[in-house]
Amino acid sequence: MRIIHTSLVLLLSACALTPPLERPAPALPASYADGPDEPTSTGNAADLGWRQMFGDPRLQALITTALDNNRDLRIALLNVDAVRAQYGIERSALLPQLDARLSGGRERAAASAAAPASLQGTHAAGVAISAFEIDLFGRVRALSDAALARYLASAEAARAARISLIAAVADAYLEERLAMEQLRLTETTLADWRQSLELARLLKEAKQNSGLDVAQAEGQVASAEADLEGRKRDLKQARNALALLLGTAMPADLPEGMRLDRQPVLTVLPAGLPSDLLLRRPDILQAEQVLRAANADVGAARAAFFPRLALTATLGYASPALGSLFQGGQLAWGFMPQLTQPLFDNGRLESGLELARARRSTAVAEYEKSIQTAFREVADGLAANATLSRQIEAQQRAVSSAERRRELSSLRYRAGQDSRLELLDAQRQAYAAQQNLLGLQRLAFKSALSLYKALGGGLQETTPAA
């Protein structure tokens, strides 16, 4: 009865050494400021497959290529394998290691007054358990739990890497589409301005204007030519960035890409409740597992102060002659428990416990920060969606107005009613308004993409059936 009581005390002690996990309560509001008036958890963009989010077939093919070849994602997946193997090592310590042993040897015994020198042989065969630690205070269990939490954290890190890669490929592709549209606009504008230059030269030859108009038109064309070279550079760099994300050469059989203003990217996304982020964002789940690992490390550091009981045992046969090794009467066994209690280590155990506690506090702060960062990213995405659509509509009206002014100024200049300076200003205003519209369209897609990523979208290729 006394033995049972002692065992229960030891078991309870082991359970108490690892402190209970206390996750900090996230300070999240009940709804987003720019979300729907009546928030609901029935819809969330995280459930939306990336093929439904990005409808351009060319972009879908690029994402598939990147998922197969990107080096960063491959490293993240290999890291999962490495941490999983480490967990297997720690978990194996919970059970004894059983070894089969076969040994033999000969030695010469020195002569003595009672017996002459002789040769003696020893042969043994059996199984053995070497220094198996009986986990009285939960140290081995805590180390195994910490390794498991780190493995789960690495798996969440790989999921987060997948989301980031899909978002990065989509963002780089849209940047390439923007660079291409800007190049086309610049080429068209340059062609128009060259025609305007020819008109200015003809009017000068007809003595209907001065050399100042020609100089202004030449300067305008030179500026557009310089802008054209910059746009070509932007397009090449955007394609280089996209190729880096792919991890391989650009496939030759890609579908034709769609224009930026016709991209079928969903820009209105359901955000659900702020509390959904705790279950859908892999980086938050990763931070939680890191916190669990750090908490288990505290339990292991506490248990290191208590005695360790190690068991070594052997069972087999032993004989001086190999031929009689397995005959009757040669059975041999050994049993050697060893109890070790730390007495003096110059503060090593205390420092180890302080280190474990400090790392747990760091993990708590990182967990809180990951939640705050996630909420801000979603809030920023919703704020952008709430204003960008109206801004784009206003900019489209500005483009229409600038185009009408340019056409009227061109007609008035040809009729001699306006100066070249007025036409120049109208042309530049129309060009700038069109560039701004392209930038806003790109920003709208970028904001939708950021919101999709912030909500944890991208893990599923297709939207699951309801």
pLDDT digits 0-9 by tens, 82-115: 999 988 988 888 888 888 888 777 777 666 666 6
Strand partners, 337: 311
Q: What is the pLDDT of residues 204-231, one digit of tens each?
A: 887 777 788 888 889 989 999 999 999 9
pLDDT of residue 436: 95
Spatial separation of the C-alpha atoms in residues 56 and 83, rounded to whole Å: 37
pLDDT band at residue 393 using 50, 70 and 90 as cut-offs = very high
Averaged pLDDT score across all residues of the chain: 86
- Among the listed residues 299, 287, 262, 95, the one whose alpha carbon sits nearest the alpha carbon of residue 181: 262
DSSP 54: B
pLDDT at 408 over 80: yes
SS3 of residue 279 by DSSP = helix
Locate 27 and state its tokens. Answer: 């300070």
CB 169 within 8 A of CB 61: no
pLDDT (average), residues 443-454: 93
pLDDT of residue 328: 64
Percent of the chain with pLDDT strictly greater than 70: 90
- Residue 2 pLDDT: 42
Instruction: Give the residue-averaged pLDDT of 39-58.
Output: 84
Q: Which tens digits make up the pLDDT trace of 131-168? A: 888 888 888 899 899 999 999 999 999 999 999 999 99
Range of lowest pLDDT (89-93, 273-277, 318-322, 424-428): 318-322
11 pLDDT band, cuts 50/70/90, is very low
Tokens representing 208? 């209907």
pLDDT tens, position by position, 231-247? 999 999 999 999 999 99
Residue 256 confidence (pLDDT): 92
pLDDT at 291: 95
Q: How far is CA 143 from CA 89, 131, 177, in A?
A: 10, 17, 51
* Crossing angle of helices 211-246 and 57-69, rounded to 10°: 50
- Cα–Cα dist 426/67, whole Å: 47
Confidence of residue 323 (pLDDT cuts 50, 70, 90): low
Amino acid at 21: L
In this structure, of 31-45, 155-169, 377-391, the range with the lowest mean pLDDT score is 31-45
44: confidence class by pLDDT, cuts 50, 70, 90: confident
- What's the rounded mean pLDDT across residues 370-387? 91
Determine what percent of the chain falls in helix, strand and coil, rounding each to the nearest 5.
Answer: 65, 10, 25
Helices (H), 315-419: 348-414
Q: What is the pLDDT of residue 311?
A: 87
Whether residue 456 is predicted with pLDDT greater than 90 in this model: the reply is yes
pLDDT in tens, 172-196: 999 999 999 999 999 999 998 898 8
Task: Give the pLDDT confidence score for residue 41 in this predicted structure.
Answer: 54
Query: Mean pLDDT, to the nearest integer, of 258-263?
Result: 90
Whether residue 249 is predicted with pLDDT greater than 70 in this model: the reply is yes
How does residue 322 score in pLDDT terms, banded at 50, 70 and 90? low
Q: Which H or E run includes 124? A: strand 118-134
Q: What is the mean pLDDT of residues 382-405?
A: 92
Q: Quote the pLDDT of residue 466.
A: 58
- Pick the range with the lowest mean pLDDT from 30-34, 43-47, 85-89, 409-413: 30-34
Instruction: Give the per-residue pLDDT at 96.
Output: 85
| 342: pLDDT strictly greater than 80 | yes
